[in-house]
Amino acid sequence: MAAQKDLWDAIVIGAGIQGCFTTYHLAKHGKRVLLLEQFLLPHSRGSSHGQSRIIRKVYSEDFYTQMMDECYWMWAQLERESGTPLYRKTELLLLGKENPELKTMQATLSRQGIEYQYLSSEELKQRFPNLRLTNEEVGLLDKTGGVLYADKALRALQDAIHQFGGTVKDGEKTLRINVCYWPEKVPGSYSVSQAFPCFMWLGLAPHSIYGLPSGEYPGLMKVCYHHGNSADPEERDYPMAPSDTQDVQILCRIVKDRFPDLKPEPAIMERCIYTNTPDKHFVLDRHPKYDNIVIGAGFSGHGFKLAPVVGKILYELSMKLMLSYDLAPFRISRFSGLGKAHL
């Protein structure tokens, strides 16, 4: 890119939600920016495809909950700019037995002044009769929770990037999980229209279960297992592994035991790739050797909703501006004592 017309203030590699929001912030601030994507857009070979994602403020860590305040504002701003609905409030129900993790999340919500409701076992059973609950399970209802329309958000961002003068080039090459959709026995019993919330269920399996009410596929509820076996991102077209089958069997058992109004076998199964860090926190930092390279990675299956602020942070890092957030939890140096096998 030697010609003057091909000189850029920033080049962003990867047109998933994080790369798109980073490019959006750069272009919106008048920077000459190029966004590169190795696959032709749109595609389903990364971590940002699909029609829906959960949005929530409930977290164990204060810093994520604080970031989410600005994220909600930015998602609403993108809705206004695009004229496209990108968010639907459904609330988020966090389920599990009384344990330190649940208590920590409740304490964070209280400390940050987030509206929520604690539901006893009896209150849960009265309010959600279509869930099979034990007497030991309680709930936290995050009143801010809801559904983000993922595919629409990506399209809105890419349109905005063009409007702000940015350039997107696809087809420029530079951990997976299983997502299943279960058909309802009784139409609408787990739907957004019936005010059924998004949910996260702790302690049902070695890793948590989460899901969204039926909406993107009418009559089908999205239920996911927050786990999967390792996958080479360069070899994404692979047959189902034995561990994938085991994960689906875990979901089938949980659906049969806990969701009496769903049919026990999935109607649709989709895959999504996670890039996990050892502590499940992001990497947002400058490259330790090359000062002109900024890294945003390792979003560990919970980065989509936080992308507006992540993109802002990566814009600030790339332009060497004052940072809006403390990046101590996200620095690469926190892994300096770990060998490559742990990363």
Residue 299 confidence (pLDDT): 87
Q: Is 34 left (phi over 0), alpha (psi -120 to 50) or beta?
A: beta
In terms of Cα–Cα distance, which of 52, 49, 57 is closest to 20?
49
Residue 176 confidence (pLDDT): 46
Domains of the chain: 1-54+151-174+274-343 (3.50.50.60)
In terms of Cα–Cα distance, which of 76, 58, 42 is closest to 308?
76
Residue 270 confidence (pLDDT): 76
- The whole-model pTM stands at 0.85
pLDDT, tens digit (0-9, with 9 covering 90-100), for 103-119: 999 999 999 999 999 99
- For the chain, residues with pLDDT lower than 70 are 1-5, 38-50, 171-179, 192, 205-206, 216, 227-244, 337-343
Q: What are phi and psi of 18, to 5 degrees?
A: -70, -45
Answer whether 114's CB lies under 8 Å from 142's CB: yes
Residue 49 confidence (pLDDT): 52
Q: Find how far residue 265's CA is from the centre of its chain.
A: 25
Residue 46 confidence (pLDDT): 47
> Rounded mean pLDDT of the chain?
85
One-letter amino acid identity for 306? L
Bridge partners for 36 per DSSP: 13, 169
- Non-local (6+) Cβ contacts of 264 within 8 A are 182, 252, 255, 256
Residue 233 confidence (pLDDT): 55
pLDDT, tens digit (0-9, with 9 covering 90-100), for 15-63: 889 999 999 999 999 999 999 886 655 444 444 455 789 999 999 999 9
